[in-house]
């Protein structure tokens, strides 16, 4: 006999303000329990040391998680100069030290080198898989692994004069998917002739989610059983604002909800679709209902992720 799934079939996004000390998985579990949700996932991992925006998807929103993970993110962080650590943050053991403390002028002169497409080697303590094992598990067993460089995108790298003294500095970065801020700090410090690691890290934006719409676990808990109906949930479509929407008829919506494709020509008669390239992602909607995430190809609108809206 199949085991009955616990929780309510709620759908939508929650902009959780993750506290210091919790893994993203732990924060997800707490939010899911407080919302009494049957299904949940998160849109972008934060280290336990980090705080800030952790988008939580419930129900149908879990089918749109990739759009949150692929979106631009903004981080605000403090750096300590003069010491490298095993984890590239405050929690690791010091491995190398330097007496060099970069001046604001030197820092600003180097930042341009880290804008655009940047080659970056992930930290030894990272979630990258090596032969089926997480790099951080291997690192804890004192196994040094050869992690390959990856190309990441840095859109903005700004030094903020925060009066922390010569040993520290504050920065803000806009970046793309897969960027390790710890690695960025490590590499910047080396380019400045010293070492460095992160002292504090906060994600202030993840795609459409920012601090203005965020809620803490404490506030979520204070709402109690009213949490799911309190208005904290954002629509499933929140992460899809940049994706074109194609209007379906009721009959087309019925067919697509069963996984069938519909004629692009028929849809084009009622929805402007100029500029769509083959394979482009679209929203298939009927009235105010999101029916599916789909692609346009071969004269058809083909469902990729059918939603139960």
From the CB of residue 192, how many other CB atoms can be counted at a distance below 10 Å? 19
47 is catalytic: yes
Instruction: Give the gyration radius of the chain's Cα atoms.
Output: 22
Structure tokens at 25: 């998985």
Which of 17, 47, 89, 187 is an active site residue?
A: 47
Task: Write a three-state SS string for the chain.
Answer: CCCCCCCECCCEEEEEEECCCCCHHHHHHHHHHHHCECCEEECCCCCCCCEEEEEEEEHHHHHHHHHHHCCCEEEEEEEEECEEECCCECCCCEEEECCCCCCHHHHHHHHHHHCEEEEECCCCCCCCEECCEEHHHHHHCCCCCCCCCEEEEEEEEEEECCCCCCCEEEEEEEECCCCCHHHHHHHHHHHCCCCEEEEEEEEEEECCEEHHHCEEHHHHHHHHHHHHHCCCCECHHHHHCCCCEEECCHHHHHHHHCCCCEEHHHHHCCCCCCCCCCCCEEEEEECCEEEEEEEEECCEEEEEEECCC
Find out whether 213 and 127 touch, Cβ atoms under 8 Å.
Answer: no
Rounded to an integer, what distance in angstroms lies between the CA atom of residue 1 and that of residue 22? 35
Structure tokens at 7: 């929780």
From the CB of residue 2, how many other CB atoms can be counted at a distance below 10 Å? 4
List residues with catalytic annotation.
47
């Amino acid at each position: 006999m199949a085991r009955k799934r616990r929780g309510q079939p709620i759908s939508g996004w929650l902009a959780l303000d993750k506290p210091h000390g919790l893994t993203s998985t732990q924060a997800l579990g707490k939010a899911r329990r407080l919302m009494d949700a049957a299904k949940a996932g998160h849109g972008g991992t934060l280290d336990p040391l980090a705080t800030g925006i952790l988008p939580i998807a419930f129900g149908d929103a879990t089918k749109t998680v990739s759009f949150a993970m692929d979106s631009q993110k903004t981080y605000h962080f403090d750096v300590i100069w003069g010491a490298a650590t095993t984890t590239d943050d405050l929690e690791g053991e010091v491995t190398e030290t330097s007496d060099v403390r970069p001046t604001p002028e030197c820092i600003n002169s180097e930042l341009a080198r880290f804008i655009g497409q940047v080659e970056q080697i992930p930290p030894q303590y990272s979630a990258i898989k090596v032969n089926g094992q997480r790099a951080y598990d291997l690192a804890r067993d004192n196994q040094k692994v050869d992690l390959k460089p990856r190309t990441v995108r840095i859109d903005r790298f700004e030094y903020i004069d925060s009066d922390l003294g010569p040993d520290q500095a504050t920065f803000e970065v806009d970046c793309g998917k897969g960027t390790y801020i710890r690695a960025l700090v490590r590499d910047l410090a080396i380019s400045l002739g010293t070492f460095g690691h992160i002292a504090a890290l906060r994600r202030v934006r993840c795609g459409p989610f920012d601090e203005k719409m965020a809620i803490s676990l404490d506030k979520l808990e204070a709402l109690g059983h009213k949490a799911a109906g309190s208005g904290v949930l954002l629509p499933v479509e929140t992460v899809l604002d940049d994706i074109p929407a194609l209007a379906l008829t009721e009959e087309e919506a019925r067919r697509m909800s069963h996984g069938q494709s519909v004629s692009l020509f028929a849809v084009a008669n009622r929805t402007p679709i100029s500029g769509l390239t083959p394979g482009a992602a679209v929203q298939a909607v009927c009235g105010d209902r999101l029916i599916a995430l789909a692609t346009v190809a071969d004269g058809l609108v083909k469902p990729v992720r059918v939603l139960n809206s």
